[in-house]
Structure 1
Amino acid sequence: MADPKDAVLGLWRTLSARDWDRLGDWVTDDCIYVDMPVGPTAAARGPVDIVKRLQVGLRDLAGYENHDGLLVAEGDAVLYEHSETWTFASGEVVVLPFVSVHRVRDGRVALWKDYWDFGTVQNAAPPDWMENLLAADTSWMFDATGLV
């Protein structure tokens, strides 16, 4: 069973590799994932829907890399200050700072909240990025209001 820090780092290494088949191994069956700039009404719950949600933003990128940063743990809570480099197929590149808050249960992430600046991506993304985002599959959407 992974210690909370190891579980979080394993999750992020797997996401950085965009290993969609293994990503679900790092989250609990009832894990809630929330992009906090979008809010809890557009959360995803469970491994399958979390992968679908993450693919909306990351699958079509020409390049994606997570960069390790400060990792702080207290009990089952792990805070991770890190950044991601997104390279769009049209050539635009953005480095996006993050703070991610995780709760770990039995060696797997049970709650995952990402804090980042939507404007940082929007200002650097290709002109059709927002249009494509709004047209994406939202079958994963779960209202986590009151749960996070």
Structure 2
Amino acid sequence: MADDSTAGARDTVLGLWAALSKRDWDAVKTFLSADCIYVDMPVGATAAARGPDDIVKRLKVGLEPLAGYQNHDGLLVANGSDVMYEHSETWRWDSGETAVLQFVSVHRAIDGKVTLWKDYWDMGSLVNQAPPTWMDDLAAADTSWIFDATGRI
């Protein structure tokens, strides 16, 4: 049986992902601490986001333009405040392309808030499945959210 901190961390992470799957940006923010750091590990720590508002800005870069987005539950392993979540996401564009991406997300959740969130996934897989314009669209996106988390994660 999980201790209270493990159960709370697990519930926080699952709540975050349920809100994200709905792209309910206001709800996503409620699961993030004021100083939470989010990093797409294939991109690196120099392009992290920090805090609920900037993390949501960062998430919107990839997810908001999609015609459809869904998170698919998978294995979740929790130990105290540390939670690893193996899951997949389906991305669907208006142009008809669909990508299924495999993820491992590592979280630290304390007192009902995620304080650290690192996503591990295959950038090449996404690029190969995305529309030809996706990289250009990404390059033109708002990057005001960028936070250099080098040495902090």
TM over 0.5: yes
Letter matched to residue 112 of structure 2: G
Report matched runs for 1:49-88 at 5 Å.
49-88=54-93
The TM-score with structure 2 as length reference comes to 0.95
1:68 to partner: Cα distance: 0.2
Provide the rounded CA distance (Å) in 2 between the counterparts of 1:147 and 1:89.
37
Provide the rounded CA distance (Å) in 1 between the counterparts of 2:131 and 2:64.
15
| Other structure's SS at 1:21 match | helix
| 1:141 matched residue in structure 2 | 146
| 2:9 matched residue in structure 1 | 4
| 1:44 matched residue in structure 2 | 49
2:120 matched to 1:131? no
Report matched runs for 1:21-32 at 5 Å.
21-32=26-37
Letter matched to residue 46 of structure 2: T
| Other structure's SS at 1:3 match | helix
Provide the rounded CA distance (Å) in 1 between the counterparts of 2:9 and 2:136.
37
Provide the rounded CA distance (Å) in 2 between the counterparts of 1:105 and 1:22.
17
| 1:119 matched residue in structure 2 | 124
Provide the rounded CA distance (Å) in 2 between the counterparts of 1:53 and 1:19.
14
Q: Which runs of 4+ in 1 moved over 3 A?
A: none
CA RMSD of aligned residues (A): 1.0
Letter matched to residue 22 of structure 1: A
Matched-pair identity in % = 68
Letter matched to residue 51 of structure 2: G
Letter matched to residue 4 of structure 1: A
Task: Report how many aligned residue pairs link the two structures.
Answer: 148
1:87 to partner: Cα distance: 0.3
| Other structure's SS at 1:103 match | strand
The TM-score with structure 1 as length reference comes to 0.98
Provide the rounded CA distance (Å) in 2 between the counterparts of 1:128 and 1:93.
14
Letter matched to residue 8 of structure 1: V
